[in-house]
Amino acid sequence: MPKVLISDRFSQAAQQAFILRGIEVDVRPGLSTDELKAIIGGYDGLAVRSGTKVSADLLAAATRLKVIGRAGIGTENIDLAAATDQGVVVMNTPFGNSVTTAEHAIALMFSLARQIPAANASTHLGKWEKSRFMGVELTGKTLGIIGSGNIGAVVADRALGLNMRVVAFDPFLSEERAKDMCIEKVDLPTLFARADFISLHTPLTEATRNLICTDSIALMKDGVRIINCARGGLINEADLRAAIVSGKVAGAALDVYQTEPATENCLFGLEQVVCTPHLGASTAEAQENQALQVAEQMSDFLLSGIVANALNMVPVSAEDAPKLKPYMKLAGQLGSFAGQLTEHAIKAVRIEYEGHVAGLNTKPLTAIVLESLLRPMMVSVNMVNAPLVAKARGIEVSEVTCERKGDYNTLLRVIVTTEQRTREVAGTLFGGDKPRVVAIKGIPIEAELGSHMLYVTNQDKPGFIGALGSLLGARGVNIATFHLGRSEAGGDAILLTQVDQPLTDAILDEVKALPHVVQAKALNF
Ligand SMILES: NC(=O)c1ccc[n+]([C@@H]2O[C@H](COP(=O)([O-])OP(=O)(O)OC[C@H]3O[C@@H](n4cnc5c(N)ncnc54)[C@H](O)[C@@H]3O)[C@@H](O)[C@H]2O)c1
Ligand SMILES: O=C(O)CC[C@@H](O)C(=O)O
């Protein structure tokens, strides 16, 4: 039974969701790094929010870990590269807090427009400063949304409901989608020139870092108000402070900061600035949504191989997972077959998908072919890091799909080019779910792969099969299945036989010494 550790504060619902699906779960929030390191080796899954720092060091101790689930969006607390290297899938819950965060942005916009936090503090002090807090109406004002993804779109919708005009800048926003959303798509200078309020909803990338700075503020309307519920690095805080002090910017409302936790900040203390401590996602509903979502995603992955919202792996949907399952086995066998025969550096791998399989999501299959191909050469490779490992080793990986059927309804062919030769193995599914090898080096054969196989290439000469059978029999090796193929009578021949026990090196040497044998190899699956 897979075992999961929840190491941050989570809604109770998550624990129940794991248990309901038959997953053992321990809830240990607030452990120190050393305490976590001491126990992490016992878990298949780790569920976190932003509190647990999942460093390369911690991952090194997580020898059994297969998946990290982040309840929320940001994975700044997780060393994604180290997780990928180690083959650990990292998932987040990108939609669970969108509405909640959008509502926070709207709340901050109201707070700015009516100076509610300052008015609240003053009233509590008994000052009754009615004339001090003159606000502005939102109706008829223009809201500029930068980033119209999950959260930006909800903010736009709510702002339209408040009778605001909404303009948006997002390089990936189409005119059509903008029209559907009843907003106007504009370029960034136009947004700056027209917006009375600007709300930020982009990820922090090299393109968006310091998006709000002295230069961009200069393009804005005098008296503009800025809201940031996205990421602190989007705003150059020193530049914003200067613009507020000069009066160019009337106010700013911030939920996120360049450095968090933000216990000090150059914007703190300015009465035009409204601050919250990264509360965007902090509603009971969002926390529950995210906790449930992460528990479901992690369970699906640990129990059925379904991959949703992974940041370092191709998705496998619930619909695709059962269709892909028999192909995953076939892909693993073909990759492993080629890998066990490969003795030189691999230069290229080409994976051809023909017929039915070509219509499926082939990316996970390619990852499995690579994993099983490389595994005989390295222990640390798995489905998550295999494409990366292949790339790092300079292996050129290509995929070809052709939905037209050939001799088989569905066919997967793996072609591996090394410094010395090109090796090719193809397979299909019999009866829709039983993997069979159907060609090796282009020579037709029909073989089911069992745990212990003997693979022989030889010249097609009379008496060879008898000699091999006698040798194995004399050494007490029981033959379970026997499959033959040849290019032409008297030409190159191949033999794949399943035996009931692993072949010793001594027996293999005897097989190699038989007349007409070119190559003999024990393969294990
Ligand atoms: N304050 C919080 O607690 C909280 C909670 C959730 C999300 N967030 C943050 O909010 C932000 C938005 O989250 P989301 O779920 O809407 O993400 P999303 O991926 O759905 O949307 C982001 C949008 O930004 C756009 N974008 C990317 N680069 C851009 C650029 N250079 N200029 C303009 N637009 C650009 C993308 O095309 C996309 O449409 C993220 O930074 C996220 O981390 C904060
Ligand atoms: O409160 C949190 O965990 C962070 C919320 C948000 O920034 C996220 O990344 O999902």
- Residue 465, domain CATH: 3.30.70.260
CA-closest residue to ligand 2 atom 9: 74
CA-closest residue to ligand 1 atom 40: 203
Task: Please say whether the beta carbons of 310 and 383 come within 8 A.
Answer: no
In a domain, 444, yes or no: no
**CATH number of residue 367's parent domain:** 3.30.1330.90
Q: Which residues are paired to 310 by β-bridges?
A: 91
**Is 98 close to ligand 1, i.e. is its CB under 6 Å away?**
yes
The parent domain of residue 370 ranges over 313-439
Residues 121 and 207 in one domain: yes
Of 405, 439, 473, the domain-final residue: 439
Plot region of 56 (φ>0 → left; ψ -120 to 50 → alpha; else → beta): alpha
φ, ψ for residue 483 (rounded to 5)? -130, 135
Determine whether 415 is exposed, middle or buried from the number of CB atoms within 10 Å of its CB (0-12, 13-18, 19+).
Answer: middle
Closest ligand 1 atom to Cα of 207: 31
Residues 355 and 237 in one domain: no
In a domain, 278, yes or no: no
In a domain, 457, yes or no: yes
**Is 151 close to ligand 1, i.e. is its CB under 6 Å away?**
yes
**CATH number of residue 185's parent domain:** 3.40.50.720
Q: Is 165 a catalytic residue?
A: no
In a domain, 473, yes or no: yes
Q: How far is the CA of 27 from the centre of ligand 1 (A)?
A: 30
Residues 429 and 492 in one domain: no
Q: Is 278 a catalytic residue?
A: yes
Residues 476 and 426 in one domain: no
Residues 106 and 251 in one domain: yes
Could you give the CA distance from residue 9 to residue 207 in angstroms, rounded to a whole number?
33
pLDDT 10s digit of each residue in the chain, 525 long? 999 999 999 988 899 999 999 999 999 999 999 999 999 999 999 999 999 999 999 999 999 999 999 999 888 899 988 998 888 999 999 888 999 999 999 999 999 999 999 999 999 999 999 999 999 999 999 999 999 988 999 999 999 999 999 999 998 788 888 999 999 999 999 999 999 999 999 988 888 999 999 999 999 999 999 999 999 999 999 999 999 999 999 999 999 999 999 999 999 999 999 999 999 999 999 999 999 999 999 999 999 888 888 888 888 888 888 899 899 999 999 999 999 988 788 999 999 999 999 999 999 999 999 999 998 877 667 788 888 889 888 899 999 999 888 889 999 999 999 988 999 999 999 998 999 999 999 999 999 999 999 999 999 999 999 999 999 999 999 999 999 999 988 889 999 999 998 999 999 999 999 999 999 999 999
Alpha carbon separation from 364 to 97, 246, 370, 416 (Å, rounded): 29, 56, 10, 18
Please identify which of the residues 177, 194, 260, 350 carries the catalytic annotation.
260
**Is 185 close to ligand 1, i.e. is its CB under 6 Å away?**
no
Residues 188 and 324 in one domain: no
Residues 101 and 208 in one domain: yes
> Which ligand has its closest atom nearest to the C-alpha of 149?
1
Residues 380 and 470 in one domain: no
In a domain, 514, yes or no: yes
Q: How far is the CA of 382 from the centre of ligand 1 (A)?
A: 31
CA-closest residue to ligand 1 atom 9: 230
Residues 83 and 109 in one domain: no
CA-closest residue to ligand 1 atom 10: 230
Of 417, 439, 461, the domain-final residue: 439
Please identify which of the residues 104, 231, 241, 452 carries the catalytic annotation.
231
Residues 138 and 47 in one domain: no
In a domain, 353, yes or no: yes
CA-closest residue to ligand 1 atom 15: 150
In a domain, 483, yes or no: yes
pLDDT at residue 256 in the model: 98
Residues 470 and 359 in one domain: no
Q: Which residues are paired to 456 by β-bridges?
A: 495, 520
Q: What is the pTM of this model?
A: 0.73
Buried b (16+ CB within 10 A) or exposed e, 246-260: eebbbbbbbbbbbee
How many structural domains comprise the chain?
4
Residues 262 and 330 in one domain: no
> Which ligand has its closest atom nearest to the C-alpha of 234?
1
In a domain, 140, yes or no: yes
> Which ligand has its closest atom nearest to the C-alpha of 261?
2
Q: Is 404 a catalytic residue?
A: no
Q: How far is the CA of 74 from the centre of ligand 2 (A)?
A: 6
